[in-house]
Amino acid sequence: MNDERKDSNSSQQSKSGDAQRGNASQGSGESRGENDQNARPKYPPDPRSSGAVDDQQKSDGKGRGEDKSAQSLEQKQDQQNKDKKQKERRQQDPRARGESNRKAKKIAIWVGVVFLILLAIGVIPRLIRRHHLASEKKKQQDTTPTVTVVLAQGALPTVDVELSGTTSALTEAPLLARADGYLVKRLVDIGDRVHAGELLAVVASPDLDQEVQQAKAAVSQSKSSLEQTQSGLEQAKANKGLTQITAERWARLQQKGAVSRQENDTNQTQNQAQAATVSAMEANVRAAGHAVASNQASLDRYLALQNYEQVRAPFDGIITERDLDVGALISTGTTVLYRVAQIDILRTYIDVPQLNAPAVRVGQHAAVSFAEYPGKSFDGSVTHISNSLDPNTRTMVTEVQLPNSDRALLPGMYGTVKLSLPETGSGVIIPGESLIVRAEGTMVAVIDDQEKVHLTKVNVGHDYGNTLEILGGLTAGQKVVANPDDTVQEGVHLRPVLAKEEPKTPPATGTGIPGNAPPKSQGQTQKNSGGSSGQSSDQSSGGSSDQSQQGKGSEHSKQDSGGKNKNGSTD
C-alpha cells in the first residue's frame, strides 16, 4: 500500500509539473503575441502599397511558425532535463532503487508464473499420454507371447573342425596258415610282445611231409637219369671220333684209287650218322638237367611250405588276436592263427568336409582327444590326404598319425581329431535348432525392432553340429528365434527374450572311419522337428561298429579287430 501511495504522489507531482510548464509556455506565448501586436503598425497600410502589405503578412506568418517550433523544442528539452534529474534523484534515493527492484521482481514472478502455467498446459497432457501409452504397451507385452532369441554371430577367421575317428595300428597283419594240418604247439598268447622271426606256433602236416619226401625222390631219380644220359653222350662222342678217323682214311685211299668210291661213301655216311647221335645225346643231357631242376624246384616249394609249419612273427609288435588252441584243424589260407600289430604309432582316418578340404595340408598339427582322458589331448599330424572327394559324401579322406611310445592309447579307441583351419566362408553362426525346413525352402525366424516375425530364406553352409553356418540371407546382430514352433508365423507379434548364451563358432563335428583302410562311404542324416532342422549325429564305435568274434577251443581269446563306423556328416 505504501508503494502504491508513493506511486500516486509521484504521478500527481509529475502532472502538476506538466501543468505549470503548460501555463508558462502559454504565458510566454501571450507575451510574444502582445509584442507582435505592439510591433504592428497602428494605421492600416496604403492600398496602393498592396505589395508591401502582402510581404508584411508573409513575414508575420513565417515568424509565428518559427515561434511554434522553438516552443516545441524548448518543451522537449525541458522534459528531457526533468526526466534526467528525476532519474538521478531515483538513483541517489535508496527507496526509489528498492521500488524499482521490487517492480522487477514482481514482473519476473509474474513471467515465471505464466511460464509455469504454459508449461503445465503443454507438458502435463503429454506426460499423461506417455504414461497411458506405457501402460498400454505393458499390458500388450503381458498379453504378447514370449520367445527365446539369439543374436546371429559373425564367423571367426579360423574354425576348429572336429572330426571323429577310430584309431588303428600303423602296421597290423593277420597270420594265416599255409599248410593243412593240426596245431601241435602254441608258444605265445594275446598281449605278448614278439620280435621279427620269433617262433609263435608249430603245425603238424603229415601230407606235406610225404610230399616233401616224394619230391626228394623225384629229384634223385632225375639226377640219375641225367648221369646216365651224360654217359651215353660220352660214348657217342667216342664213336664219333672213331668214325671220323675212318672216314678220313677212306677218303685219302679213294683219292689214290686204292678203294672203290662205294666203300668211301659208306664210311663217310657212318661218320655223319655218329655226329647226329652225339647231338641227340647232348639234347638228352640238357633235358635230363631240366628235369632235375624241375624236380628240385618242386622240392624247394614243398620245403618252403614245410617251413610254414613253424609260424614266425613278421615284425616286432604285440599279439592282438589268437584264434586257435593246440589240436585245432588248420586249413590253408583260411585259418587265422594270430594278429600282430605295431602300436608305437597309431593312425586314424577322418573325412574332411568339402568346405574345409582345401585348407588341409600334409604336416598340419592335429589334436586328438579321447573320452578316457578328459581334459587331455594328444599331439598328432596329418600324414596323408587323398586329394579327392568322395562323390557320395563330398568328403576327403585324411590320415592322421600320433605317437604312442608310452602305449597309453590302444588300437580301436574312438576319439575326436581337432584341426584348426582358416574359415573359407563369410557367413554368420546360429544355433542348429533355429533352422526351419519347409516346402518353401530353408528359413529362419527373425524378429525386427517392432517385435514382428519375418521368415527369411537362408543359404546354409557348414554344419558344425550344435550350430550352423549361414552364408546368405542373414547378417550378424539380427535376432533369430532359437527354437521356433508352430506359433512362429510370418507377421506375428512376439516378445523376444534374449538367451543367456550366444551362439559361438563351435568346433565342427564330423566322423572318421576306423579300421585299416580308408572309408568307402559316409552317410548324411538330418532330423527336422516342428519345422526346424536337426543335427547330424556321430555314432561311436561302441554303438555303431560291428564287432565280430571267432574262436574255437576252451582257451580261445580274441580282441576286437575293428569294425566300420556308420557316421554322418554334412557338407
CA 15 – CA 11 distance, rounded (Å)? 6
For the stretch 467-525, pLDDT in tens is 888 888 888 888 999 888 888 888 888 888 888 755 555 544 444 433 333 333 333 33
For the stretch 450-460, pLDDT in tens is 888 999 999 88
If one compares 292 and 103, the residue with the highest pLDDT of the two is 292
Q: Which residues on adjacent β-strands are paired with residue 467?
A: 431
Region of 375 on the Ramachandran plot (φ > 0 left; ψ -120 to 50 alpha; else beta): left
Question: Is the pLDDT score of 383 beyond 90?
Answer: yes
Residue 233, Cβ density class (10 Å: 0-12 exposed, 13-18 middle, ≥19 buried): buried
What is the sign, positive or negative, of the torsion defined by CA atoms of 76, 78, 81, 86?
A: negative
Give the residue carrying C-alpha cell 584243424.
329
Q: Which residues on adjacent β-strands are paired with residue 558?
A: 321
If one compares 184 and 534, the residue with the highest pLDDT of the two is 184
Q: Indicate whether 114 belongs to any domain.
A: no
Pick from 33-47, 179-193, 277-291, 511-525: least confident? 511-525
**Closest Cα to residue 172, out of 560, 431, 437, 476?**
560
- Same domain for 82 and 10? yes
Give the residue carrying C-alpha cell 610225404.
210
- Same domain for 156 and 215? no
**Closest Cα to residue 399, out of 417, 425, 415?**
417
- Same domain for 413 and 298? no
- Same domain for 429 and 568? yes
- Same domain for 394 and 513? yes
- Same domain for 279 and 149? no
> Global pTM?
0.47
Pick from 371-380, 389-398, 495-504: least confident? 495-504
Q: Indicate whether 65 belongs to any domain.
A: yes
Residue 87, Cβ density class (10 Å: 0-12 exposed, 13-18 middle, ≥19 buried): exposed
- Same domain for 79 and 210? no
Angle subtended at Cα 70 by Cα 67 and Cα 72, rounded to the nearest 5 degrees:
110
Question: Is the pLDDT score of 325 beyond 70?
Answer: yes
- Same domain for 157 and 278? no
Residue 101: C-alpha distances to residues 89, 104, 309, 534 (Å)? 16, 5, 132, 83
Instruction: State the cell numbers at 210.
Output: 610225404
- Same domain for 269 and 353? no
- Same domain for 398 and 529? yes
Q: Indicate whether 160 belongs to any domain.
A: yes
CATH label of the domain that carries residue 385: 2.40.30.170
- Same domain for 216 and 81? no
Residue-level pLDDT at 288 = 86
Which structural domain, as residue segments, surrounds residue 563? Answer: 144-178+346-571
Count up the domains in the chain and report the number. 3
Averaged pLDDT score across all residues of the chain? 75
